[in-house]
Chains A and B, each alone.
Chain A
Amino acid sequence: MSKKEDFVKFDKVDKSYDGKVLVVKDLNLDIKEGEFVTMLGPSGSGKTTCLMMLAGFETPTNGEIYLDNNPISNIPPHKRGIGMVFQNYALFPHMTVFENLAFPLRVRKISKEDIEKKVDKALAMVSLSEFGNRMPGQLSGGQQQRVAVARALVFDPSVVLMDEPLGALDKNLRESMQYEIKHIHESIGVTVVYVTHDQGEALTMSNRIAVFNDGKVQQLSSPDKLYEEPVNSFVAEFIGENNTFAGEISDISNGSCKVKLDKGEIIANPISVKSVGEKTTVSIRPERALIDPKDKMDNNQKGKIEEIIYHGDHTRVRLNLLGNSEFILKVPNSSQNLDIKLGNEIDIGWNSRDARALDPK
C-alpha cells in the first residue's frame, strides 16, 4: 500500500479565541501517512491549538482540516479515531492499567478475547506486561507515560497526537522515552503529530519539523535541513545555537554576498536577501567556525577570548569578534593543544556558505 501524500492536511486554517487576536494564521500543512511530524515552537505560538483542532477539541475559525481527504471540522472528537497522548498523561485514575487500555476497545464494542489480545500486545510493546493490574497511581512517571502511549495506540488509530508528553519527566528518562517512542513509531508505522517546545526532542524524533512562531509555520523540513539551512532568523535562533552579525549587503554576486558590519566586512551566503543595501542578519553555527583553520577559508578574523566554559565533552569559548562580544565557539575536548586562554587573541575562520545572510531581526 502506498503512503498517501497529504494524509493530514491543514488548509488555510485560522483560529481566534476572542475575535480580536489570531492564534493561528493562515496555516497550511500537509502530513504524509506514517510520518512523524513535530510542531515545535515557543509557548503561545499556536502549536497546541493546532493539535487541539486536529483532535477536535477546538474548531477552526476559518479554513478546513482534512484527514485522509475527508473534511473533519464537523466530526466530533470521539468519531475521528485519532489517538492522543496528553501532557499530564490523563490516565483514568479509577481504572487499572488493563482497564485503561481496554477503554477505547470497550467503547468500540470489541469482543472480550480480542480486547485481551490487543491490550496484552500493546502492553508488551511498551514492556509493561506485568503491570496490567496496577492502578496508574502506583506507577512511576515514565511508566504512566508508556501506558498513555499504549492506550493511544491500542485501538489502531490512523493518527496519534502527542501533546508535550515528556514534559514532566526528568532528563534521562525523557531521552530514553524519546528513543522508545521513535522505535514504536518506526515499528508500527502510524502517523504521529507531536507537539513540543524542546528542540532536542524534536530533532531526535521527527521525520519533519514544523517550526511555529506567532501562529505561523516558519519552516517545515527535516531536522538536518532545519538545523543546517534555516530559512529565516527566527528558525536559526530557535533551533540550536547561533552566532549573529547584523549588517548591510554591500555586494551580491554568484551565490555569495559581502555584508558590511559596524566593524569590518564578512562574506556570506545570501538566503533571503536579494539586493545591495538590504539589511540582514548573518547566522553562523558555533561548530562551523574553527580556530586556526588549516584549510583555506574565505572568512578569517581575529577574536579575543572573553570567557571559557568547560562542558565535559567540549569547551565553549566566548569571543569578542568584529564587535560582537557574544560570539560562541565550540571546541571539542581533544588532546590537541590549542592556545585557549582567557584574553588571548586567536585566529578564527569559517566558510562563506555556512554564514547565512537571513532577514534582519
Chain B
Amino acid sequence: MSSETQKILSTDGIPLEESLKKAEKKNKIKAFLLVTPLLLFLIITYIVPIADMFSRSIDDKMVTNMLPKTYKAMEQWDGKELPPEEVFEAFYLDYKILVKNKTAGKLQTQLNYEKNGFKSVLKKLARKQKKFEEGNYKEQIMKVHKRWRNVEYWRAIKRRAPAYTYSKYLKGVDMYSNEDGKIVQVSEDRRIHRILWSRTLEVAFFVTLFCFLMAYPIAHLLATLPMKYSNLLMICVLLPFWTSLLVRTASWMILLQQQGIVNDFFVWIGLVADDNRPEMMYNKTGTYVAMTQILLPFMVLPLYSVMKTISPSLMRAGKSLGATPVVAFFKVYFPLTIPGIGAGCLLVFILAIGYYITPALVGGASGTLISNQIAYHMKSTLDWSFASAMGLMLLTGVLVIYWIYNKLVGVDNIKLG
C-alpha cells in the first residue's frame, strides 16, 4: 500500500492535514494579533532598556572618538618605552581640536579615572600648547610637564583605546585592571561595593526568612478560618498592601525613631531606660523591620492560594493513619505548600534585592543597599555607565537565583494564584 492512498482526505478531496492547517491559520493570525500589543509593549519597555543599559555599561567610545589620530598612531607602539614622535604629534593634533571645541574637560575627567593626577597635566598642556612650534612635538610636550616623560601616563591613554570595556563591571566588585593590565583588587579601605553586595544579599535573605516565618501561620489561618473571620484577616493583610509605599515607610519612621512610639512603649514597660533608648532606625534594624512588613503580602498571597487548594481531609487522613499532628503536618501538609513557599520566597527575595525607597529612608548609612548606590551614581555622580553595569549585575544575580531555584524546586511548581 502506498502512502498516497493512506492519506486521509477531507470531503472536498484536499488532504486532511492541509485543510486542518488552512482552517487553523486564521485563528493563529488572530491569536498573534491579539498578543502583538503586549509583545511590543514588552519589547519597548523591557528588552530595549536592558539592551540600552548593557551597551551603555560597556561603551567606552567617548575617549576613542576624542583621540582618533592618537590611537591610530599608537597601534604600532608596544607600550614598553615612551612612544615615538608620531604619537606625540597625533596627540597634540587631537588635543588641539578638543581644546578648541571646549570638550577637553571630558577627556581630562576620563583620563583622570585611569591615572590620578592626569587632569592637571592635561590642563597645563591646554594652556601651553598655544605657543607650540611645528615639529618635534615630543620634546615640546615633555617640556610642559615632567609627567609626560613617565610612560605610565601614555599607557593610561592606550588603555582607553578599545571602544568597549568591562572596567565598570570590575569596579562594581571593587576590582580594576592596573597599569600592567592585570585585574587586581582596589585597596582595602576603598572596597565599598562588595560590602554593599553582601549586605544586600544578607538583607534580602533575612527579610525573606522573616516574611516566611510570619506569613506561613497567617496564610494557614486565612485558608482554614471560617469565611467571616478569614475575610477580615484578608483585609488586614491587604490594607497595608493598598497603602502607598512612602506612607508605610514614613509611618515606620514615626514608630521606630528614638522618641517614637515603640521606644516610648519599651520605656513604659521598663524594658529600656529612658536615657538609653535603642536606635532602631537609620541602621539595619530599621531596614529589616520596614521591609519585612512591606513585603509580607507578597509572601502571604501565594502561600494562601496554595493552602486554599489543600483539602482538610488530607490532614485528617494523615492523623487517621496514625501520624501525630506534628508528623502529619511535616509529612503531608508542608510538602504540599512548597510550591507556594517557593513562589513567595522567590518573589520577596527578588523584590528585596532591588529595594530602594525603604532602605533609602530608614536605612541610614549601615542600612543602605546596592540599589541606593545605583541611584547615587544615576543622580549624583552621573556615572550612568557604572550605574548601568551595577544594574545589570543585579539583574544577572536575580536570574542566577531564578536558575538555581528552577534547578532545586522547578519553576513549574510555582503557584502564584
Contacts and interface: CB of A to CB of B under 8 A. Distances in A.
Contacts of A78: 319-325, 328
Interface in A74-103: 76-84, 86-88, 90-94, 103
Contacts of A90: 311, 313-314, 316-317
Contact of A107 (B311, B317, B322): B322
B318 interface: yes
A108 interface: yes
Interface string A195-228: 0000000000000000000000000000000000
A55 B318 contact: no
B18 to A, nearest CB: 36
A87 B324 CA distance: 22
Interface in B307-361: 311, 313-314, 316-325, 327-328, 331-332, 335-336
- Chain B interface helix/strand/loop/mixed: helix
A77 B320 contact: yes
Residue among B322, B324, B327 with the highest chain A CB neighbour number at 10 A? B322
Contacts of B314: 90, 92
Interface string B126-159: 0000000000000000000000000000000000
Given A93-B336, A94-B335, A107 B316 contact: no
A90 B336 CA distance: 13
Contact of B321 (A76, A87, A151, A161): A151
Contact of A103 (B311, B323, B325, B336): B323
Given A77-B316, A92-B332, A94-B335, A155 B311 contact: no
B313 A107 contact: no
Interface in A54-86: 55-57, 76-84, 86
A76 B319 contact: yes
Contacts of A103: 318, 321, 323, 331
A57, A83, A107, A155 interface centre (most CB from chain B within 10 Å): A107
A75 to B, nearest CB: 12
B325 to A, nearest CB: 7
Contact of A77 (B313, B319, B335, B336): B319
A237 B320 CA distance: 35
Interface in B200-247: none
Contact of B327 (A81, A94, A107): A107
Nearest to B316: A57
A104 interface: yes
Contacts of A155: 321-322
Contacts of B321: 78, 83-84, 103-104, 107, 151-152, 155
A56 B315 CA distance: 13
A86 B316 contact: yes
Given A78-B328, A107-B327, A84 B322 contact: no
A57 B331 CA distance: 19
Interface in A306-353: none
A94 B336 CA distance: 7
A78 B329 CA distance: 13
Interface-centre pick from B316, B317, B324, B332 (highest chain A CB count, 10 A): B317
Contacts of B328: 78
A86 B323 contact: no
Interface string A251-287: 0000000000000000000000000000000000000
B202 to A, nearest CB: 32
A82 B328 CA distance: 16
B323 A88 contact: no
A152 B325 CA distance: 18
A23 to B, nearest CB: 17
Contacts of A57: 316, 319
The CB with the most chain B CB atoms within 10 A, among A56, A86, A91, is that of: A86
A89 to B, nearest CB: 9
Contacts of B313: 86-88, 90
Nearest to B335: A94
A339 to B, nearest CB: 53
A183 to B, nearest CB: 23
B319 A88 contact: no
Contacts of B319: 56-57, 76-78
A213 to B, nearest CB: 25
A107 B332 contact: no
Contacts of A152: 320-321
B173 to A, nearest CB: 41
Contacts of A107: 321-324, 327, 331
A77 B319 CA distance: 6
Contact of A86 (B317, B322, B331): B317
Contacts of A76: 319, 325
Contacts of B316: 55, 57, 77, 84, 86, 90
A107 B313 CA distance: 18
15 contacts: A55-B316, A56-B320, A57-B319, A76-B325, A77-B320, A81-B322, A84-B317, A87-B313, A90-B311, A90-B314, A92-B314, A107-B324, A107-B331, A108-B322, A155-B321
Given A77-B316, A104-B323, 16 more contacts: A55-B316, A56-B319, A78-B319, A78-B321, A78-B324, A84-B317, A84-B320, A87-B313, A90-B313, A90-B314, A90-B316, A90-B317, A92-B314, A92-B318, A107-B321, A107-B323
List the 9 closest pairs (A to B, CB-CB), nearest first: A104-B321, A90-B317, A84-B320, A90-B313, A77-B319, A107-B323, A78-B319, A86-B313, A94-B335
